[in-house]
């Protein structure tokens, strides 16, 4: 606690190996705040610096932190094919407005093994015709995998874009049975 008896902001992070490469998971007392793909040393360092800048506190590597324990367990179970839904507290402080509204709808309304079009998702949040804005929201998702932006595809059957790379999106959709497993 700080001198006024309030809890100081705390950010902890860890890197977890997965079937799509290392993921950085970061959490606050509010919940999981960030998931970062391809968490090599350089990517990790940039992500930690971005968290420090955005949240105003120095993130601490703490793979054994109780704030991360359940997120790590659920991410591992998801990639092992043992879990289809994440049941985690989420800290939405890195995103706001329309983007937060779209991501919340995505998290609650598009289940494992299903996909939704960008335009359909726009309609679900009362903004028909805002498919491009939904694409921007997907690109700004601070919680990929847990908030499943990989499940958003083009209405013509195309896979669409993905911040983690198209191969990562294909692997996630294959894990969920939407696409066949890649042959190589």
Q: Closest by alpha carbon to 155, among 182, 129, 127? A: 129
- Tell me which of 12, 32, 36, 149 is the catalytic residue: 149
Q: What are phi and psi of 90, to 5 degrees?
A: -115, 140
Q: List the one residue out of 176, 168, 159 whose CA is nearest residue 112.
A: 176
**Alpha carbon separation from 176 to 26, 72, 73 (Å, rounded):** 24, 19, 18
> Residue with structure tokens 């694409």?
135
**In degrees rounded to 5, what are phi and psi of residue 24?**
-90, 125
Written as six digits, the tokens of 176 are 């969920």
Catalytic residue status for 149: yes
Dig out the tokens for 148 from the structure: 């499943």
Residue with tokens 């998290």: 107
Positions annotated as catalytic residues are 149
């Amino acid at each position: 606690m700080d001198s006024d008896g309030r809890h100081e902001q705390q950010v902890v992070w860890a890197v977890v190996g997965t079937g799509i490469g290392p993921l950085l998971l970061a959490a606050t007392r509010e919940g999981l705040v960030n998931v970062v793909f391809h968490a090599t040393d350089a990517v990790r360092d940039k992500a930690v610096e971005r968290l420090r800048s955005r949240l105003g506190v120095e993130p601490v590597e703490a793979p054994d932190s109780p704030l991360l324990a359940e997120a790590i367990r659920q991410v591992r179970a998801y990639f092992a094919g043992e879990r289809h839904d994440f049941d985690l507290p989420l800290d939405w402080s890195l995103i706001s407005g329309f983007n937060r509204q779209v991501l919340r709808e995505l998290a609650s309304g598009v289940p494992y093994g299903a996909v939704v079009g960008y335009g359909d998702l726009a309609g679900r949040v009362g903004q028909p015709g805002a498919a491009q804005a939904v694409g921007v929201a997907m690109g700004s998702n601070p919680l990929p995998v847990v908030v499943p932006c990989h499940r958003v595809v083009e209405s013509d059957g195309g896979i669409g874009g993905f911040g983690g790379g198209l191969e990562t999106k294909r692997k996630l959709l294959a894990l969920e049975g939407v696409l066949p497993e890649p042959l190589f």
